[in-house]
Amino acid sequence: MRQLHHRIHRYSNIYLATAALLADGKYTYGINWSGGLHHAKQSEASGFCYINDCVLAILELLKTYQRVLYIDIDIHHGDGVEEAFYLTDRVMTCSFHKFKDYFPGTGHIDDVGKDSGSYHAVNFPLDEGLDDESFDMIFQPVISKIIENYRPEAILLQGGTDSLSGDRLGCFNLSVKGHGSAAAFLKKFNIPTLFFGGGGYTLRNVPRCWAYETSVVCGV
């Protein structure tokens, strides 16, 4: 138990430190590919996720910023993050995910938030086979409109690689370059952004994708 507590403490330092540096205004971008555990809830683990680092990082950002946008391109719905901020307008969540007969079974297009958070949850349910061209046609106009209307002061992108073609648990058809187009597009807005990891179950895809996206974020 002490070893587990120590591992959790060390792990939490990574994403909290990343978020804190971004909130201090010292950096425009932060990267934590080991993060992105978007299914964990306040009182339970779920879907390989035992601690929701996305939620904790956003809470850190909210100490400085009034409005934070969370974007999720993992093939699974970002249910834990949506649930955490479903009642507030200080965080807008936007998830692009496989829907119908697919874990975790949430993320209906009609789930839009509640109370102060009404219309601050955006869900874009998708069928299998999503490719690069279709993804760009969906992602770019939706995110552009959200940023235009919500005017976030900071962004967190959950970039799970299980939306890549050939993933063992996935059913989308994105290439590494197509997946990385989300990071490239967000850079155009020059808003402080955290880039987190997430799912990914075909080993050769995961490091290639995040290495490529690191190059996109760093501009090298």
Q: Is 39 a catalytic residue?
A: yes
Per-residue model confidence (pLDDT) at position 15: 66
Q: Roughly what angle, to the nearest 10 degrees, separates helices 53-61 and 2-23?
A: 40
pLDDT score of 26: 74
167-205 tens-digit pLDDT: 999 999 999 999 999 999 999 999 999 999 999 999 999
pLDDT in tens, 113-145: 999 999 999 999 999 999 999 999 999 999 999
What letter would DSSP give residue 87? T
Please determine, for residue 112, whether its predicted confidence score (pLDDT) is greater than 50. Answer: yes
Say what the pLDDT of residue 4 is. 39
pTM of the full structure? 0.91
Q: Which residue in 38, 39, 76, 97 is the catalytic one?
A: 39
Rounded percentage of the chain residues whose pLDDT exceeds 90: 81
E strand residue ranges, the chain: 29-32, 68-72, 91-98, 121-126, 154-158, 193-196
Q: Give residue-wise pLDDT tens across range 73-107.
A: 999 999 999 999 999 999 999 999 999 899 999 99
Of residues 143 and 15, the one with the higher pLDDT is: 143
Amino acid at 121: A
DSSP three-state, residue 113: coil
Q: Which one has a higher pLDDT value, 11 or 179?
A: 179
Q: Give the chain's domains with CATH numbers.
A: 2-218 (3.40.800.20)
Burial state string for 79-96 with b = 16 or more CB within 10 A and e = fewer than 16: bbbbbbbbeebbbbbbbb
Q: Which residues contact 168 (CB under 8 A, 6 or more apart)?
A: 201, 202
Average pLDDT, the chain: 91
Give the model's pLDDT for residue 8: 44
Give yes or no for residue 7 having a pLDDT over 60: no
